[in-house]
Amino acid sequence: MAHVDGEFTAEAKALWDKVPPDIQDQLLTNVWCSNCSNTTIVRFKGTVDRGELVLRGHCARCGKRVARVID
C-alpha cells in the first residue's frame, strides 16, 4: 500500500515519519468503523493530541467518520 491520502500537521508528520512504512500500512488498514467493523481509513488528517498521534478521517467502505490513535 504505502500510500498516504492524508494531511498532517508538522508535529504529526514528524511522528508519522518515524513509523516504518510497513507498520504505517498496518495502521491505516486496521481501523474500526461502527458500521463496517475493520476497515481502512481514507481522507484523514493527522494531528497530535495529548502527545499521541491521531488520524481522523473516513471509512473506505461507507464513508462514516473514523479515527485511529497511534501511541
User: Is 2 within the bounds of a domain?
Assistant: no
Q: Which domain holds residue 59?
A: 7-70
**CB-facing half-sphere around the CA of 50: CA atoms within 13 A:** 3
In contact, 57 and 44? CB cutoff 8 Å: yes
User: Is 14 within the bounds of a domain?
Assistant: yes
Residue-level pLDDT at 2: 44
Residue-level pLDDT at 4: 59
Number of domains composing the chain: 1
**pTM of the predicted model, to two decimals?**
0.90
Mean pLDDT by 10 residues, the chain (71 residues): 75 96 95 96 96 97 97 86
Hey, which residues does 33 pair with through a beta bridge? Answer: 37
User: Is 1 within the bounds of a domain?
Assistant: no
Residue-level pLDDT at 1: 47
Residue-level pLDDT at 34: 97
